[in-house]
Amino acid sequence: MTRADDSTAASGLGLVLSRVADGTAQSRAELVSVTGFSRTTVGQYLTQLFAAGLVEEAPEGMRRGGGRPSRLLRLAPDAAVVLAADIGETHARLAVTDLTPAILAENTIAIDLKDGPIIVLAQLADAYRALLRTLRQNARDVLGIGLGLPAPVDHAGGRIVGPSVMPGWDDFDICGCLTTHLGVPVLVENDVNLMTLSEFRAFWPDAAQFLFVKAGTGIGSGIVTDGRLYRGAQGAAGDIGHMQLDRTGGPLCRCGKQGCLEAHAAGWAVARDLRAEGLLAQTARDVLRLMQAGNSATALRLHEAGLVLGDAVANTVSVLNPSAIVIGGMLAEAGETLISGIRSRVQERSLPLAFRHLSIQRARSGSDAGLLGAARLVIDTRLQPRHADATIAAHSRFKPGSRTRPQKLRLV
Ligand SMILES: [Zn+2]
Tens digit of each residue's pLDDT (9 = 90 or more) over 3-44: 445 777 789 999 999 999 988 899 999 999 999 999 999 999
In the sheet that 324-328 helps form, which strands lie side by side, from edge to edge? 228-229, 219-225, 209-215, 324-328, 359-362
The CATH topology of domain 205-362 is Nucleotidyltransferase; domain 5 (3.30.420)
Q: What is the pLDDT of residues 240-286, one digit of tens each?
A: 999 998 888 899 998 889 999 999 999 999 999 999 999 999 999 99
Determine phi and psi for 259, rounding to 5 degrees. 80, 15
Q: How far is the CA of 220 from the centre of ligand 1 (A)?
A: 11
Assess contact for 255 and 164: CB atoms under 8 A: yes
Domain with CATH 3.30.420.40 in the chain: 81-184+368-376, 205-362
10 Å CB burial of residue 404 (0-12, 13-18, 19+) is exposed
What's the confidence (pLDDT) of residue 294?
96
Give pLDDT tens digits for 315-371: 999 999 999 999 999 999 999 999 999 999 999 998 888 888 899 999 998 889 999
What is the model's pLDDT at position 355?
Answer: 84
315: enclosing H helix or E strand: helix 296-320
Other CB atoms within a 10 A radius of the CB of residue 176 amount to: 11
CA of residue 157 to ligand 1 center, whole Å: 26
Q: Supply the pLDDT for residue 394.
A: 93
Tell how far the Cα of 312 is from the centroid of ligand 1, in angstroms. Answer: 13
- Give residue 69's pLDDT: 57
**Structure confidence at residue 60 (pLDDT):** 61
Ligand 1 center to residue 384 CA distance, Å? Answer: 37
CATH numeric code, 81-184+368-376:
3.30.420.40
From ligand 1's centre to the CA of 254, what distance in Å? 6
Ligand 1 center to residue 196 CA distance, Å?
Answer: 21
HSE, CB side, 13 Å, CA atoms: give it for residue 292.
12
User: What is the distance between the alpha carbons of residues 96 and 138, in angstroms, rounded to a whole number?
Assistant: 11
Ligand 1 mean position to 243 CA, how many Å? 7
| DSSP classification of residue 153 | E
Q: How far is the CA of 264 from the centre of ligand 1 (A)?
A: 10
215 in Cβ contact with 329 (< 8 Å): yes
Q: What residues are paired with 103 via a beta bridge?
A: 97
Q: Which percentage of the chain shows pLDDT scores above 90?
A: 73
Ligand 1 centroid to 267 CA: how many Å? 13
Question: What's the rounded Cα separation, in Å, for the pair 269 and 307?
Answer: 14
More confident residue, 68 or 387: 387
Say if CB 11 and CB 45 are below 8 A apart. no
| Ligand 1 centre distance from Cα of residue 151 (Å) | 14
Q: How confident is the model at residue 234 (pLDDT cuts 50, 70, 90)?
A: confident
- Is the pLDDT reported for residue 99 higher than 60? yes
Predicted confidence band at 406 (pLDDT cuts at 50, 70, 90)?
A: very low
Q: How far is the CA of 183 from the centre of ligand 1 (A)?
A: 39
pLDDT at position 63 is 47
CATH code of the domain made up of 7-76: 1.10.10.10
Query: What is the whole-number distance in angstroms between the Cα of residue 236 and the centre of ligand 1?
Result: 14
Q: How many CB atoms within 10 Å of residue 238?
A: 24
Gap from CA of 272 to ligand 1 centroid (Å): 15
Q: 401 falls in which pLDDT band (50, 70, 90)?
A: very low
3-class secondary-structure state, position 182? helix
CATH 1.10.10.10 range(s) for the chain read 7-76
Residues 212, 225 contacting (CB under 8 angstroms)? no
pLDDT digits (tens, 9 = 90+) for 63-91: 444 555 567 999 999 999 999 999 988 89
Q: What is the pLDDT of residue 157?
A: 83
* Spatial distance between the Cα atoms of 94 and 148, rounded to a whole number of angstroms: 10
CA 265 – ligand 1 centroid, Å: 11
| Lowest-confidence segment of 111-125, 154-168, 175-189, 225-239 by average pLDDT | 154-168
> Which of 160, 210, 162, 218 has its CA nearest to residue 190?
160
Q: How far is the CA of 162 from the centre of ligand 1 (A)?
A: 14
